[in-house]
Amino acid sequence: MKNLWLLLAAALICAFALTGCGRKYETVKVPVLEEAQGGLNEAEGEETPPVSVEDETNGETAGTKPAETSSHEAAVTNSTAPAFQKADETVYVTGSQVNVRKSPSADGEVLARLEKGVSLKRTGSGGTWSRVIYQDRECYISTQYVSKDKPVQETKSTVPAVSGNGSGRIIAIDAGHQAKGNPEKEPIGPGASEKKAKVASGTQGTATGIPEYQLTLAVSLKLKQELINRGYQVYMIRETNDVNISNAERAEMANNSGADIFVRVHANSLNDSSIHGALNMCQTAKNPYNGSLYSKSSALSKAVVNGICSQTGFKNRGVQETDSMSGINWCKIPVTIVEMGFMSNAEEDKKMAADEYRDKIAKGIADGIDAYYAGGN
pLDDT digits (tens, 9 = 90+) for 343-362: 999 999 999 999 999 999 99
| Predicted local confidence at residue 1, as pLDDT | 54
Whether residue 342 is found in the same domain as residue 214: yes
pLDDT digits (tens, 9 = 90+) for 32-58: 333 333 333 333 333 333 333 333 333
Whether residue 209 is found in the same domain as residue 306: yes
| Predicted local confidence at residue 11, as pLDDT | 59
Q: Please say if the pLDDT value at position 321 is more than 90.
A: yes
- Domain membership of residue 15 (yes or no) is no
pLDDT over 70, % of the chain? 76
Q: 254 is in which domain, residue-wise?
A: 157-374
Last-in-domain residue among 147, 171, 192:
147
| Predicted local confidence at residue 217, as pLDDT | 97
Minimum mean pLDDT among 36-40, 180-184, 186-190: which range? 36-40
Whether residue 312 is found in the same domain as residue 254: yes
- Domain membership of residue 19 (yes or no) is no
Whether residue 204 is found in the same domain as residue 107: no
Minimum mean pLDDT among 34-38, 166-170, 179-183: which range? 34-38
pTM of the full structure: 0.61
- Domain membership of residue 232 (yes or no) is yes
Whether residue 331 is found in the same domain as residue 209: yes
Whether residue 166 is found in the same domain as residue 119: no
Q: Which residue has the higher pLDDT, 103 or 66?
A: 103
pLDDT digits (tens, 9 = 90+) for 276-286: 999 999 999 99
What's the CA gap between 271 and 266, in Å, rounded?
17
Confidence of residue 124 (pLDDT cuts 50, 70, 90): very high
- Domain membership of residue 109 (yes or no) is yes
- The C-alpha torsion from 124 through 125 and 129 to 135, rounded to 10°, is 30
Confidence of residue 145 (pLDDT cuts 50, 70, 90): confident
Q: Please say if the pLDDT value at position 371 is more than 70.
A: yes
| Predicted local confidence at residue 161, as pLDDT | 81
| Predicted local confidence at residue 115, as pLDDT | 83
Whether residue 247 is found in the same domain as residue 182: yes
Pair 271, 204: CB distance under 8 Å = no
Whether residue 134 is found in the same domain as residue 173: no
- Domain membership of residue 204 (yes or no) is yes
CATH code assigned at 247: 3.40.630.40
Last-in-domain residue among 100, 126, 147:
147
- Domain membership of residue 63 (yes or no) is no
Pair 303, 309: CB distance under 8 Å = no
Q: Which residues contact 78 (CB under 8 A, 6 or more apart)?
A: none
Q: Please say if the pLDDT value at position 5 is more than 90.
A: no
For every residue of 200-253, which 3-state class applies, written as one string? CCCCECCCCCCEHHHHHHHHHHHHHHHHHHCCCEEEECCCCCCCCCCHHHHHHH
Pair 188, 324: CB distance under 8 Å = yes
Q: Please say if the pLDDT value at position 207 is more than 70.
A: yes
Average confidence (pLDDT) over 371-377: 97
- Domain membership of residue 68 (yes or no) is no
Whether residue 123 is found in the same domain as residue 230: no
pLDDT digits (tens, 9 = 90+) for 209-247: 999 999 999 999 999 999 999 999 999 999 999 999 999
| Predicted local confidence at residue 343, as pLDDT | 98
Give the chain's domain count.
2
Whether residue 263 is found in the same domain as residue 136: no
What's the CA gap between 7 and 15, in Å, rounded?
13
User: Other CB atoms closer than 10 Å to residue 376's CB: what's the count?
Assistant: 6
CATH code assigned at 107: 2.30.30.40
Whether residue 138 is found in the same domain as residue 259: no
pLDDT digits (tens, 9 = 90+) for 60-81: 333 433 333 333 333 333 344 5
Q: Strands, E, within the chain: which ranges?
A: 85-93, 98-101, 110-114, 119-125, 129-134, 137-142, 146-147, 170-175, 182-187, 195-199, 233-236, 261-268, 278-282, 316-321, 335-342
| Predicted local confidence at residue 105, as pLDDT | 87
- Domain membership of residue 48 (yes or no) is no
Whether residue 348 is found in the same domain as residue 264: yes
Last-in-domain residue among 147, 169, 193:
147
